[in-house]
């Protein structure tokens, strides 16, 4: 099946700093989503981005499908950004089922 | 408001008992999914259903069962055959077509602890 690798596994930031999270995948994809899992466990949709660039407030994401990676940018980080960020992808070769990476744990300190 | 509701949020059971987790959605989504999350790990697919009265096994279906008798509902039963059932269980759904292949939306999760 398709492989998804996220980096870094852990990240500690001072409030106000910027960060970049990376997601590499092993095959062509027809879906790529970024999620934020809050401290209570809920997964919040951040972006649906199988290709291209999107922005939502302080967050933006870029997927370069031909090179099989996606980046999530967090600018001016806040303590509420803390949690786990997951990248998930699906491909036709894997029955369009969403496969998750192991996540990046982000801690933002005030 | 439209959304995905999972219940209960927390559940404690004795070893050997079957447990059923509820998942209801009022988003008119066709597809529904169950994922399992263990501490410090990503999500793994247990079962999914694209339409009513049909469902398929995911990557870790052993010890679990599901039904899809209504579009809105996709309950998951954790049976006594599941060797390590303590985990966080997440239900998701995705809308039909619209050019956004398999975009998932999640419920708040159910945390099962087997004593």
- The minimal CB distance from B104 to the residues A30, A41, A98 is found for A98
pLDDT tens digit sequence for A32-44: 999 999 988 999 9
pLDDT tens digit sequence for A36-94: 999 889 999 999 999 999 999 999 999 999 999 999 999 999 999 999 999 999 988 77
What the block records as the tokens of B51 is 């339409």
Residue B62 burial (CB count, 10 A): 11
Contact residues on chain A for B44, CB-CB shorter than 8 A: 100
Average pLDDT on A22-37 reads 95
A99-100/A4-7 β-pairing: unpaired
Interface A-B, measured as beta-carbon pairs within 8 A, has a size of: 56
Rounded distance, CA B90 to CA B82, Å?
17
pLDDT greater than 60 at residue B98:
no
| 51-80 of A, contacting B, C-beta below 8 A | none
Task: Tell me the three state secondary structure of residue A65.
Answer: helix
Does residue B41 belong to the interface with chain A, where contact is any CB pair within 8 Å? yes
């Amino acid at each position: 099946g398709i492989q998804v690798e996220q980096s870094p596994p852990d990240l500690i930031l001072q409030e106000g700093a910027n960060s970049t999270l990376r997601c590499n995948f092993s095959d062509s994809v027809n879906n790529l989503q970024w999620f934020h899992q809050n401290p209570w466990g809920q997964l919040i949709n951040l972006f649906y981005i199988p290709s291209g660039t999107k922005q939502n407030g302080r967050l933006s994401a870029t997927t370069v499908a031909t090179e099989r990676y996606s980046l999530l940018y967090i600018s001016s980080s806040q303590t509420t950004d803390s949690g786990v960020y997951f990248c998930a992808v699906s491909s036709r070769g894997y029955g369009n089922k969403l496969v998750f990476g192991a996540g990046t744990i982000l801690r933002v300190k005030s | 408001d439209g959304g995905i509701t999972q219940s209960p949020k927390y559940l404690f059971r004795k070893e050997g008992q079957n447990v059923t987790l509820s998942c209801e959605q009022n988003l008119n989504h066709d597809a529904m999914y169950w994922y399992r999350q263990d501490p410090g790990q990503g999500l793994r697919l247990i079962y999914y259903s694209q339409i009513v009265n049909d469902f398929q096994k995911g990557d870790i279906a052993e010890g679990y069962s599901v039904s899809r008798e209504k579009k809105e509902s996709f309950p998951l039963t954790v049976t006594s055959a599941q060797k390590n059932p303590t985990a966080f269980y997440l239900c998701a759904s995705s809308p039909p077509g619209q050019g956004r292949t398999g975009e998932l939306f999640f419920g708040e999760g159910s945390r099962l602890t087997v004593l």
